[in-house]
Amino acid sequence: MASYKTKLNLYLKANSKIFDREKVSLQDNSDGNGVFIASWNYDGLAKPSDSQIASYETAGNTEETARAVLNKRASEYKELKEQLDLLYHDMVADKGDKTGEWFKHIKAVKDANPKE
Residues of the chain within CATH 3.30.56 domain(s) are 1-76
Sign, CA dihedral 42-43-45-46, equals positive
How confident is the model over 42-88, as pLDDT tens digits?
Answer: 999 999 999 999 999 999 999 999 999 999 999 999 999 999 999 99
How confident is residue 115, by pLDDT bands cut at 50, 70 and 90?
A: confident
Are 73 and 115 in contact by the 8 Å Cβ rule? The answer is no
Its CATH class, for the domain covering 1-76, is alpha beta
Residue 100: is its pLDDT beyond 90? yes
C-alpha triplet 32, 56, 69: angle, nearest 5°:
95
How confident is the model over 35-51, as pLDDT tens digits?
Answer: 999 999 999 999 999 99
Could you give the CA distance from residue 99 to residue 97 in angstroms, rounded to a whole number?
A: 5
The pLDDT, as a whole number, for residue 70 is: 96
What does DSSP assign to residue 49?
P
